Amino acid sequence: MRYLLSVLVALAAPPLFAADLPKFKTQEIDTGLKIGYAVITADIDGDKKLDIVVVDQHKIVWYRNPGQTDAPWKKHVILDGKTRPDNVCIAPIDIDGDGLPELVVGAAWKPFDTATAAQLVWLKRGKNVTDEWTMHELPCDEPTVHRVRVFDIDGDGKPEIVHVPLMGRGSSAKGNWTDGKPVRIVALKIPAKDPEKKENWKTEVLSEELNVAHNFWPEHPQAAGREHPTPNIYVTSYDGVHVLSEEKGKWTTNKIGVGNQANPKSNRGASEIKVGRVGGRLGTIATIEPWHGNQVVVYTAPEKAGEKLWERHVIDEQLRWGHAVWFADLDGDKVDELIIGVRDDPNPKAGDTFKERRGVRVYKCTDGKGARWERTILDDGGVAVEDLTAADLDGDGKVDIIAVGRQTGNARIYWNQGK
């Protein structure tokens, strides 16, 4: 394999950083991706450093953390061409209990095929972590599997696999993808023995009420100061923003945000979602609206107990096709900043009058409540963001940002330099 050398790149125009935000230095670690559908960080080789894993169209690849800024990140192939195309989502999980992550991958990504079951697999390393991994099928009856995450849903201290399809079975373009069955949100529990056998995995349906569910995010009880043993699961869909919660062994689905419903016969509701430590006890929720839309939206929890809907704040509309959301404390003040990835450039023929390009943006809350934010353009045009994440890659206590592109086919690290 020929390894791609890391290249430090200069942005087309120097970003203007808010006075109280850190500076960032950009490092490009790959320019040869087909479609960088998803990116995560995990310690793949067990050396106590976070590596980068990318879901490419037909491959799963990882980049070994060199342990120092500016050094090359060597690229290794985990899986190539074994799944049904396209690969689309990924999550790390320790299935065999050896303290190292296996990987769960969602594949057979065909967004408008709502009749054929998609594919969910898990990957196991061999004796040499740089060799191709082995693939094991998981139960999957749902079409258009789109997002997968791993977390403890029942409070027993052991993680489950949760996956959310994009569309419900039998939905069609004629019915704006809402005329079939609702999306089935499904959890899979790790079997006590022989996880290589698909039949040993047991599934549980957590929700079957929403239409066109694009993304979801778990919030653990401790993060919100709750004593409840099971998480809240926030989901974005055509129907708005909902929270899945468990009481006495039963999961319920409740609306907390309306989403953008300006065009009920086309894209509506919300797509991306994350939960951040900003504002009151419950924090804030950030979304992209409408579905695959042009608004960055923040929801703040209601002040009065018992109110179900959160307050909606549009904090940016100068974008086309936002496609990634993340919260992280970038400046070390114990309050999260909001990171947004934009996938497409402005299109004047579609009526866009703004000039800001695809790339990465950072927003800092200025009112302490989550309603007002100041925007910084971190990358203006360098990456058509399909996904992004944030983590401290070099162990210096500062959170870095990693983004992968679709049309640009690249992967970039934005190194946090501090203030």
Q: What is the pLDDT of residues 368-396, one digit of tens each?
A: 999 999 999 999 999 999 999 999 999 99
Say yes or no to pLDDT of 307 above 90.
no
Number of other residues whose CB lies within 10 A of the CB of residue 127: 5
Q: Which of the four pLDDT bands, split at 50, 70 and 90, describes residue 310?
A: very high
pLDDT in tens, 190-242: 999 999 999 999 999 999 999 999 999 999 766 555 667 899 999 999 999 99
pLDDT at 9 (0 to 100): 36
The mean per-residue pLDDT over the stretch 34-63 comes to 98
pLDDT at 398 (0 to 100): 97
pLDDT at 10 (0 to 100): 34
Q: Which of the four pLDDT bands, split at 50, 70 and 90, describes residue 19?
A: low
Is 47 among the domain residues? yes
CATH number of residue 213's parent domain: 2.130.10.10
The better pLDDT of the pair 155, 82 is held by: 82
User: Domain limits at 284?
Assistant: 27-416
Is 399 among the domain residues? yes
92's tokens: 């790390």
The mean per-residue pLDDT over the stretch 143-154 comes to 97
The mean per-residue pLDDT over the stretch 335-339 comes to 97
pLDDT at 229 (0 to 100): 81
Is 82 among the domain residues? yes
pLDDT in tens, 74-113: 999 999 999 999 999 999 999 999 999 999 999 999 999 9
Say yes or no to pLDDT of 255 above 50.
yes
Domain count, the chain: 1
Is 2 among the domain residues? no
Is 18 among the domain residues? no
Is 378 among the domain residues? yes
Is 261 among the domain residues? yes
Is 332 among the domain residues? yes
